[in-house]
């Protein structure tokens, strides 16, 4: 069995040989390099979550059980963005796990994806009391985190679920009834505003419009 000294001499001889041949860098094996590259997005999201920590930038921190960061594939081509966590999400620490989340999962599967193949996040990471609408200053406090999530993932398309997600991402005050179905853009990424799954639970007739919206996104993803 080779000794450590012999292994070190062999490595040194190999490096000297490459130097004589003019090789300045030895490329990594393709499999290992690919794995490291894919892991970098996951690591960056973990670092972002660690940076957020026990966030107290706004008043929403006072009533939360868990901060709801986001979940899904860091390599996702498609990102869904909602308004904020509800009761079930606050308890579990994961976005869209209640009735609205179950409906969102059905929409994702109808698009030909599994839930773990997309990425799901919210505009605000903590539950507003009694599920009230997030206030402008609360959105402003959380928005840098959402922007960084999008920047790390680099999706091919974004679907904004509901008024607050659409208005925040697109930087507009237009109502969701006007935004819905019209493709917008964020940092060069196509953005489709559509109705929130919770709205669909109350208004099931609107499911047809949402399906029309996601079909437009599916066409974009097929070309990507």
**pLDDT, tens digit, 9 for 90 and up, residues 107-144:** 999 999 999 999 999 999 999 999 999 999 999 999 99
Task: Tell me phi and psi for residue 216, to 5 degrees.
Answer: -65, -40
**Residue 16 within a domain:** no
- Asked whether residue 177 is assigned to any structural domain, the reply reads yes
> SS3 of 94, please?
coil
Check residue 224 and give its pLDDT.
83
Q: Do 187 and 170 meet the contact criterion of CB atoms below 8 Å apart?
A: no
pLDDT for position 23: 43
Q: At which residue do the structure tokens 């005050």 appear?
A: 173
Decide if 52 is inside a domain: yes
CATH number at residue 204: 3.40.470.10
Residue 46 lies in a domain: yes
- pLDDT tens digits, one per residue of 51-63: 999 999 999 999 9
Domain range for residue 100? 42-223
Report if residue 70 sits inside a domain. yes
Domain count, the chain: 1
In a domain, 49, yes or no: yes
Other Cβ atoms closer than 10 A to 160: 28
Q: Is residue 161 part of a domain?
A: yes
Who contacts 83 (Cβ-Cβ below 8 Å, separation ≥6)? 122, 123, 124, 133, 134, 161, 162, 163, 164, 165, 196
């Amino acid at each position: 069995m080779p000794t450590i000294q012999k292994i070190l001499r062999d490595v040194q001889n190999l490096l000297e040989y490459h130097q004589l041949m003019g090789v300045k860098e030895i490329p990594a094996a393709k499999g290992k390099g690919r794995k490291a590259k894919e892991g970098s997005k996951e690591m960056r999201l973990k670092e972002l979550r660690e940076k957020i920590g026990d966030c107290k930038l706004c008043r929403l921190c006072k009533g939360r059980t868990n901060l709801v960061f986001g979940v899904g594939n860091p390599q996702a081509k498609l990102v869904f963005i909602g308004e904020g966590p509800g009761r079930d999400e606050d308890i579990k620490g994961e976005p869209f796990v209640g009735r609205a989340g179950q409906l969102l999962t059905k929409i994702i599967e109808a698009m030909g994806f599994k839930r773990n193949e997309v990425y799901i996040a919210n505009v605000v990471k903590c539950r507003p009391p009694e599920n009230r609408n997030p206030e402008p200053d609360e959105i402003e406090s959380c928005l840098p985190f959402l922007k960084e999530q999008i920047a790390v993932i680099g999706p091919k398309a974004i679907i904004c679920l509901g008024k607050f997600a659409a208005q925040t991402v697109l930087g507009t005050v237009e109502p969701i009834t006007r935004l819905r179905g019209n493709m917008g853009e964020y940092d060069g990424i196509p953005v489709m505003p559509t109705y929130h799954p919770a709205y669909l639970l109350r208004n099931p007739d609107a499911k047809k419009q949402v399906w029309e919206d996601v079909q437009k996104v599916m066409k974009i993803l097929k070309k990507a």
